[in-house]
Structure 1
Amino acid sequence: MNTVSYAKWVIKYRWFIILATFVLVFIAAAGMPRLYFSTDYRYFFSEENPELLAFEELQNIYTKNDNILFAIEPKDKNVFTPETLAVIEELTHASWQIPFSLRVDSITNFQFTEADGDDLMVGDLIKDAGSLSSEDIVRVKKIALNEPLLLNRLITEKTDITGVNVTINLPGKSITEVPSVVAFAREMADDIRTKHPDINVYLTGTTVMNNTFAEASQGDIQTLIPIMFLVILIIMVILLRSFAGTLATLLVILMSSLVAMGIAGWLNTPLTGISVIAPTIIMTLAVADSIHILVSMFNEMEAGKDKREALIESIRINMQPVFLTSFTTVIGFLSMNFSDAPPYHDLGNIVATGVVGAFIFSVLFLPAVIAVLPVRKRKPSHSGRFFDSFGEFVVRRKKELFWAMLVVIVGLTAGVSRIEINDVFVEYFDKRYTFRTDTDHVTENLTGIYQIGYSLSAGEDNGINDPEYLKNVESFSQWFKDQPGVVNVSTITDTMKRLNRSMHGDDDAYYRLPENKELAAQYLLLYEFSLPYGLDLNNQINLNKSATRFTATLEDMSTKDMLSLERRAYEWLETNFPESGFYSGSGTVIMFSHIAKRNIKSMFLGTGLALIIISLIMIFALRDVKVGLISLIPNLAPAFMAFGLWGIIFSQVGMALSVVTAMSLGIVVDDSVHFLTKYIRARREHNMSAEEAVCYSFRTVGKALWTSSVVLFAGFYVLTFSGFKLNSDMGLLTAIAIALALAADFLFLPPLLMKLERKKI
């Protein structure tokens, strides 16, 4: 069946097609209730991710470090008052009621040791805070400020803010676990604010961050989709000036999104801050196919044909380019499966499904609906005359345009050399999220939320009591404290030194590591027996006492600085403490620091494969090797120019932008495909010269290219309204690439064709 026969078949069975489409869309969309929001940042990493595996190994050996951190800041800027300490004490007790809480640490329940004759006394640093005398407060303040495990972790030297850290152990059996924990913590914070208006409360921690990923997803759904729908509606009304065309297009984009999200639901695909933008992208891409079919139909009607003849002709001339553009777009998004981050796999697969649906609806459902709805007779539009004139201008100024655009392409591409890979993962969220503002405040005033951890092996059971081992741990601790950006280091050696002092009558001269292994073992055993439930040493020591946990807390650090610190620490351990075993650090910040770099490497392969496939498709479809190869230049140039412009303006790129080249490649091909198919049709069917074919292409497809590019630009620019940086950055860079692609296809591709295509085809 050729395209003309196909078009007649669609018109003949239009009512059946419309009803069957609605039924199939309903079945597919029935999977949407199965969609759920992921509340686990670990989903950003593949199961084979080495940093994730190292992190989970550390979590399995010691206490998990998923946490909620309450930061308490009295407005009088003095934590050490009976009133504020009483609030901290009350919050410490109440925090044990948080679902799945495993441990609570604060300055009030810090397990302080002191000598009582020959006995070791272990207990809360602060009890019954409301009744403390001024002398008591001076004493506990001095102790807190001299305790390495507290200073710059739960208290600062200014004593104007303090923290209560709650360790959370999530079973991982329900998607409601994280939201319920965070909701409980927020109620507690609100309760403190209500009862104590003179105290500010801030919430941060990895559990709150997990929940914010889900909130970002929900926020984008609630804001971006309505904005996108409104933008498309306005653009369609202005540019198409047709009720039937606008209604049919809106139905196509709506059904494409419903089918894609419904199938994702049937496949139990979790929604993340990244994949949740799929409907917005699908709506944007789905418009393009409909626009080309409708604009071509309107052009034929302006030329004197009735609606039926115009619709058949539009399908005839657009079936191949619409199929090609949809296919190349699908290839571009499927190449995102090469990403090292599973959420990008989901985004690529969902959008690819939506694009397939959009193609089917555009060439099947759209013509059927247009055949049913009334479409008024069209008069010749000013836009047609404009693109006639524009085509003549391009032909007349082909030399100047060629060299000017070549200079622009080379100049912008040179900016790629300024790009450096960098991410600050807390900044994935903008300041509309309280997690971001609270975290910024905590980081600036109390402590960092980034942590890097190590499991330092002693080589044998009970080996952690060996003085030589403890000295090595202490040396590593001191080295880490001297590194820029490190605010606190937590090791077992600080506890050992405190125990040694307490066992020598609290003599500060003995604040040093025990010199005898047996003595150290006795001190540690005595201390462990004295600790209350929930405050044991499982967060620092493994079960057979053959290794200890080393944790460094860091201020805001870029990916570059974090990876540099990790590398230096690896080299230090390898040189000075090789018997410690595993040299690599672990933690969420390490995982996110590596993912951007690894993502870019993996996407090089994905982009290369997509480029090869798309190039072969272009050559095969156009049946012209030379024109197919020529098309690669305007198809590749926009991504390079966009990255170059980004490098000139911003210089830094992160995980999100690593997928833009492959993704945009499939999108920007659309304009060149439509232009080149019309160009070759003019050369072959009408025996035109290269110059005449260029004018013909602008006349027949110029308006459609302009309209679809405006919609694509607007659609991806809408993503910049996202509060999730990965989406807003990706949207902005892709929008830039689309704008540059239109410029390349209008101002560079035609002069290039005229320069290289002088003979008739």
Structure 2
Amino acid sequence: MQRYIEWILRYRFVVIALTLVVTIAAVIQAKNLNIIIDPNTMLPQSHPYVTTSNLVEKVFGSKYVVMVGVTPKEGDIYQPLILEKIQRMTAAFLQTPGVVKENLLSLSAKRAKNIAGTAEGLEVKPLMSKVPATAAQLTELRGAVEKNPVYLNSIVSADAKTTAILVEFKDGPGGFRAIMDKVEAVVGHERDARVEINVGGIPSFLARIEIYSERIGFLFPIAIVVLSLVLFEAFRTKQGLILPLVTAGLAVAWGVGVMGASGIPMDVFNSATPILILAVATGHAVQLLKRYYEDYFRLRETTDLSPKAANNQAVISSLLRVGPVMIAAGAVASLGFFSLVIFKISTVRTFGIFTGIGILAALILEMTFIPALRSILAPPSDVERKRGQKKRIWDKVTNAIANWVTGTSRRRVYGGVLLFVIITLIGMGRVTVDNSTKSFFSPELIFETDDKALNDRLGGTNTMYLLVEGAGDDAIKDPKILRAVGELQRFLENQPYVGKTLSLADFIMRMNQAMHGDDPAYYKIPDSQELISQYLLLYSMSGEPGDFDSYVDYGYRSANLTVFLKTDSSAYIEKLVEKIHAFTALHFDKSVHIGIGGSVPQGAALNEVMVYGKILNILQITVVVFIISSLIFRSLVAGMLVLLPLLVAVLANFGLMGWSGIPLNISTSLISAMAVGIGADYAIYLIYRLREELMTGADEITAVRNVIGTAGQAILFVAISVSAGYGVLLLSFGYNIHKWLAILIAEAMIMSSLSALLLIPALILTFRPDFIFRRIAVKHNPLPVSVVVLILVFGLSMQPKNGWAAEPNLGQIMEKNFVVSKVADSVADATLTLINKTGQERVRKTFGATKLEENGIDNMRMTRFLSPPDVKGTVSLLIEHADKDDDIWIYLPALKKVRRLVSNNKKDSFVGTDFSYADVIGYKVGEWNYKLLKEESVEGQLCYVIEALPKSDAVKTSNGYSKRIGWLRKDNLVAIKMEYWDEAGQLLKISTFTDVQLVDKVRGKWQAMRLEASNVQTGHRTVIKYDNFKANQQVKDEFFTTRYMEKE
């Protein structure tokens, strides 16, 4: 060790220069740091609640959902003022980058459908395609909402005083602040004195955690000022003030630089890492400098060495004596933080690793930079020596401690510690294990009051998912399972804090009721699985492909029951989960598995893992401390002595949490482990100094008094430094995480230091352990992720003609394109494949027939479903009318009845596919303006690329497109590719038409045998493939009658 120290002094300028180079590199890397909360890194990914949540989010969506509530100051929501705001905000959110458009839910969202019974059957249409303008229209909207219970308490409050928009966001850059900035950009325009707009949901709170965590940038300088005061009190010298701060500042720069270089953002755990490193590094520097001053003043008083020589000798002797114990204590502290890698939570492991690196950086600096810099600074002056030797409050404190442990009051020390332990044990019994993100903030903050208002008025801003998994495809269509799901919903809705439940069962019951004249007695699950399947098919005739994507997967093997909760308490959810398990065990068949997930259960999973991990971690660090301490002092007794004050500090930590009401949660679960890792420093240093003092020949009482008076003061200053550094977090008003850290860390540091100063000397004097009194030499050992679909789609192909002029007539081109595939009649077998964003497929096989009506424009289209079995025999009939709404009829074999559907919106999904009615029927040429963009080849075919823009807003609204671009083959004018832009001006879908065949040579009619439409916004796509397509087959009119539909 001495040679090493002498080498450092010999090359002091090189050491300082290298330190500065490393520091500059670290500071350059630190600029990459930012604070972003990533829930994925904060959750135990192997926990059942988390794996279920991940599966639900992958298959059904609903990951980061923000709730925007609108409450009028006067009246209810059924007034144009409120509904116009909802429509504008919904439209704005649809244009907002990062929004999952298909999952957007509000009164004006496409996903919100009014399932209504008519005299002839079922009608499915948007709840509010346009804002009602008359009292009668407002009353109609109110009635539609009331007849569809799924929207009550989810987007409309029970008293109709509040309506909400549920907006789901994708993962994206910028964290949750970026999400909430986008929300505020939309909401801000609608705030005024006539309404109250509240924003809530987990993303709102995670954004606040990101924002509040950035307060470290403001609190860090304050921590430096506070530490400066502590250091000045400790040394009363400029160098004693500056040196520890410089060392600590460099250690922080190194630690933060490593974090910046890694590219890992700061979060709720490691945002306070800079202050932790600052405090610990400062504390260690205090120990080293305290010893330096001791040795320097001793050398000046007992030798003839010059100030410069005494300075160099004091640097060597202080580091020679304190270096080994600093390495040991630093190893214990860093290993304590490195041990956090046992947690199954990425962010906790990251916190442990980077904090451990920071402490090692501090240790390296203390063993290199401090002695090198100290050796070139001027030695302390006599004035500084006299000032430092003046008796102060710390002398009185340590003198009192020395009196207690060396005199007759020693038994009182034991008695006081025993009484304290009893009180803390009682406090431990009062500790509540509960993780609630919303409890991290003061309840009077605006985002807290917003969230509370939404929870009071609607179903809740917190979610739990119940994943119901059947034994095979179509299992969820089983009436027994759907009834059990409905019973589970009623059970849950009777539980406290459950505000709303949603599942596929709600929609099936509403369809059944609508099909029976809205008779309340039929608001129930039908007895036939075939009828359930046919209801879903019936719905798809005018619904959207993704309407039920949030409730059931594509194979109908799994269903998602969403539970809206008014609390995010993990303690509450654990009790509710027990009730759910008991209920499902009695009401579900054993072949059905119920998984639990969602934001609240994930919080419970986090707490469960953290609590278990905390206990394991404390035990692990305890073992590490025990082993290292035993090795250092070559004694198991020494290891036990080092542990005693640390265990007292841990008990005190839990006791304080119990008595003060601080919950044991994700933010407080690491503090005890931190306390053990840092606090071990005190015990090791104290024992080391005591044994060193005894080796000088001093009697035991004198040795104890001397050690407490010198090393004891250094220990108190270190504890105060760490406590003061974290104490500035109390200035983070409204943020309980910072407040809890400040209180618990300070308590742990003070208790571990005081218990070390009281217990260790007292026990040593009482039991006189051999490792102390055998006076052996001390050597340091460095350690080492069904609705059915169908019907044939014949439109969107076009008629040819060769040899166009250089200036093509676009009107003529589009007119010929409009009729190019309109054959006199046809029959065909078809396979319809619907594919969702995760790649799951639904396959339907059909037989179809078409026939042109007398006007030569409108078609009659019949489709009979051949498979799968649950929809076999279902028949749909579409009769087109150029001058009025089309007629759509459907035959349901399970009811043995023909029902009429209403179709007055061309932009609706065509029988659940990604093609719309307008796509199938075609677009009236005179309603669009055309522009030739260019000519280009597509798969070897030279095409006109023609843009079509609607001539009026009415055309745009009716068709659902603000723009269409078609690639029309120049040889026959058949469209082989189409692109469609939604009403908001964003690309909606892309269609391709391949395997184009000439099906009527005489009339020049062509037909694509493979049609594919891909929704680029939802990831859903439809493929229709024709087999045995035959034109001009003299198809009889009886194919297109309800009598034919009823034929089995």
Cα distance in 2 for residues equivalent to 1:758 and 1:368 = 38
What is aligned with 1:165? 166
Which amino acid is the alignment partner of residue 441 of structure 1?
A
SS in structure 2 opposite 1:35?
coil
Listed as ranges, the matches of 1:121-200 within 5 Å are 121-129=123-131, 131-133=133-135, 135-145=136-146, 147-168=148-169, 170=170, 172=171, 174-176=172-174, 178-193=176-191, 196-200=192-196
What is aligned with 1:381? 390
TM-superposed CA distance for 1:70, in Å, is 1.0
Q: Does 1:421 align with 2:433?
A: yes
What is aligned with 2:620? 609
Asked if structure 2 preserves the Cα contact closer than 8 Å seen for 1:29 and 1:263, the reply is no
Cα distance in 2 for residues equivalent to 1:286 and 1:77 = 62
What is aligned with 2:216? 221
Q: Cα gap change, 1:8/1:470 in structure 2, threshold over 3 Å: closer, same or farther?
A: closer
Asked if structure 2 preserves the Cα contact closer than 8 Å seen for 1:28 and 1:258, the reply is yes
Q: Cα gap change, 1:125/1:296 in structure 2, threshold over 3 Å: closer, same or farther?
A: same
Cα distance in 1 for residues equivalent to 2:397 and 2:531 = 90
Asked if structure 2 preserves the Cα contact closer than 8 Å seen for 1:566 and 1:584, the reply is no
What is aligned with 2:713? 703
Asked if structure 1 preserves the Cα contact closer than 8 Å seen for 2:44 and 2:344, the reply is yes
Asked if structure 1 preserves the Cα contact closer than 8 Å seen for 2:410 and 2:762, the reply is yes
Which amino acid is the alignment partner of residue 166 of structure 1?
V
Which amino acid is the alignment partner of residue 114 of structure 2?
F
Q: Does 1:504 align with 2:495?
A: no
Cα distance in 2 for residues equivalent to 1:537 and 1:453 = 15
Q: Does 1:107 align with 2:107?
A: yes
- Residues 203-250 of structure 1, C-alpha deviations (whole Å, 9 max, x = no match): 223444443443333x23323322222221222233322222322222
Cα distance in 2 for residues equivalent to 1:177 and 1:286 = 31
Q: Does 1:714 align with 2:710?
A: no
Q: Cα gap change, 1:314/1:391 in structure 2, threshold over 3 Å: closer, same or farther?
A: farther
Listed as ranges, the matches of 1:54-93 within 5 Å are 54-76=52-74, 78-93=76-91
> Which segment drifts farther, 282-291 or 608-617?
608-617
Asked if structure 1 preserves the Cα contact closer than 8 Å seen for 2:177 and 2:211, the reply is no
Structure number having the greater strand percentage? 2
Asked if structure 2 preserves the Cα contact closer than 8 Å seen for 1:573 and 1:580, the reply is no
TM-superposed CA distance for 1:8, in Å, is 3.6
What is aligned with 1:334? 338
TM-score, normalization by structure 2: 0.68
What is aligned with 2:950? none
Cα distance in 2 for residues equivalent to 1:696 and 1:367 = 25
Q: Does 1:595 align with 2:593?
A: no
Cα distance in 2 for residues equivalent to 1:45 and 1:349 = 17
Cα distance in 2 for residues equivalent to 1:364 and 1:371 = 11
Asked if structure 1 preserves the Cα contact closer than 8 Å seen for 2:45 and 2:345, the reply is no
Cα distance in 1 for residues equivalent to 2:454 and 2:742 = 30
Asked if structure 1 preserves the Cα contact closer than 8 Å seen for 2:38 and 2:175, the reply is no
What is aligned with 2:313? 309
Instruction: Indicate the structure whose relative CO is greater, using CA pairs within 8 Å and at least 6 residues apart.
Output: 1
What is aligned with 2:633? 622
Listed as ranges, the matches of 1:240-251 within 5 Å are 240-251=235-246
Correspondent of 2:403 among 390, 393, 402: 393
Cα distance in 2 for residues equivalent to 1:388 and 1:277 = 31
Cα distance in 2 for residues equivalent to 1:79 and 1:63 = 28
Q: Cα gap change, 1:701/1:568 in structure 2, threshold over 3 Å: closer, same or farther?
A: same
Listed as ranges, the matches of 1:203-282 within 5 Å are 203-217=199-213, 219-282=214-277
Structure number having the greater helix percentage? 1
Which amino acid is the alignment partner of residue 755 of structure 1?
T
TM-score, normalization by structure 1: 0.93
Cα distance in 2 for residues equivalent to 1:665 and 1:385 = 27
Cα distance in 1 for residues equivalent to 2:724 and 2:56 = 46
- Residues 271-291 of structure 1, C-alpha deviations (whole Å, 9 max, x = no match): 211111111110010011110
What is aligned with 2:414? 402
- Residues 443-500 of structure 1, C-alpha deviations (whole Å, 9 max, x = no match): 2333312211123234443343333232222212222222222110101122112212
Which amino acid is the alignment partner of residue 717 of structure 2?
T
Correspondent of 2:198 among 202, 210, 221: 202
Q: Cα gap change, 1:43/1:537 in structure 2, threshold over 3 Å: closer, same or farther?
A: same
TM-superposed CA distance for 1:121, in Å, is 2.2
Task: Report the aligned-residue RMSD.
Answer: 2.5
Which amino acid is the alignment partner of residue 539 of structure 2?
Y
TM-superposed CA distance for 1:310, in Å, is 3.0
Q: Cα gap change, 1:182/1:650 in structure 2, threshold over 3 Å: closer, same or farther?
A: closer
What is aligned with 1:513? 525
SS in structure 1 opposite 2:711?
helix
Listed as ranges, the matches of 1:339-378 within 5 Å are 339-374=343-378, 375-377=380-382, 378=385
Cα distance in 1 for residues equivalent to 2:702 and 2:593 = 69
TM-superposed CA distance for 1:549, in Å, is 1.6
Asked if structure 2 preserves the Cα contact closer than 8 Å seen for 1:83 and 1:130, the reply is no
Query: Alignment identity in percent?
Result: 19
Asked if structure 2 preserves the Cα contact closer than 8 Å seen for 1:690 and 1:753, the reply is no
Rg: which structure is higher?
Answer: 2
Cα distance in 1 for residues equivalent to 2:738 and 2:348 = 11
TM-superposed CA distance for 1:539, in Å, is 1.1
Listed as ranges, the matches of 1:723-742 within 5 Å are 725-742=736-753
Q: Does 1:285 align with 2:280?
A: yes
> Which segment drifts farther, 407-416 or 561-570?
407-416
Q: Cα gap change, 1:515/1:49 in structure 2, threshold over 3 Å: closer, same or farther?
A: closer
TM-superposed CA distance for 1:345, in Å, is 1.0
Correspondent of 1:666 among 677, 681, 697: 677
- Residues 30-83 of structure 1, C-alpha deviations (whole Å, 9 max, x = no match): 332443443421220244333222111122222344222111122226322221
Gaps of 5+ in 1: none
Which amino acid is the alignment partner of residue 721 of structure 2?
V
What is aligned with 1:443? 455
Cα distance in 1 for residues equivalent to 2:670 and 2:76 = 48
Cα distance in 1 for residues equivalent to 2:651 and 2:341 = 21
Cα distance in 2 for residues equivalent to 1:588 and 1:118 = 43
Q: Cα gap change, 1:293/1:178 in structure 2, threshold over 3 Å: closer, same or farther?
A: closer
What is aligned with 1:692? 702
Which amino acid is the alignment partner of residue 471 of structure 1?
R
- Residues 172-204 of structure 1, C-alpha deviations (whole Å, 9 max, x = no match): 4x52375444322111111111xx332222222
What is aligned with 1:568? 579
Q: Cα gap change, 1:253/1:548 in structure 2, threshold over 3 Å: closer, same or farther?
A: same
TM-superposed CA distance for 1:758, in Å, is 7.8
Cα distance in 2 for residues equivalent to 1:747 and 1:401 = 7
TM-superposed CA distance for 1:89, in Å, is 2.2
Cα distance in 2 for residues equivalent to 1:388 and 1:476 = 65
Asked if structure 2 preserves the Cα contact closer than 8 Å seen for 1:332 and 1:664, the reply is no
Which amino acid is the alignment partner of residue 105 of structure 2?
D
Asked if structure 1 preserves the Cα contact closer than 8 Å seen for 2:44 and 2:605, the reply is no
TM-superposed CA distance for 1:532, in Å, is 4.5
What is aligned with 1:118? 120
SS in structure 1 opposite 2:429?
helix
Cα distance in 1 for residues equivalent to 2:494 and 2:208 = 33
SS in structure 1 opposite 2:560?
strand
Q: Cα gap change, 1:754/1:53 in structure 2, threshold over 3 Å: closer, same or farther?
A: same
Asked if structure 2 preserves the Cα contact closer than 8 Å seen for 1:639 and 1:665, the reply is yes
What is aligned with 2:28? 30
TM-superposed CA distance for 1:315, in Å, is 1.6
SS in structure 2 opposite 1:68?
strand
SS in structure 2 opposite 1:167?
strand
Q: Cα gap change, 1:177/1:214 in structure 2, threshold over 3 Å: closer, same or farther?
A: closer
Q: Does 1:294 align with 2:289?
A: yes
Asked if structure 1 preserves the Cα contact closer than 8 Å seen for 2:569 and 2:600, the reply is no
TM-superposed CA distance for 1:570, in Å, is 2.0
Asked if structure 2 preserves the Cα contact closer than 8 Å seen for 1:428 and 1:725, the reply is yes
Which amino acid is the alignment partner of residue 241 of structure 1?
R
Listed as ranges, the matches of 1:483-494 within 5 Å are 483-494=495-506
Q: Cα gap change, 1:511/1:221 in structure 2, threshold over 3 Å: closer, same or farther?
A: same
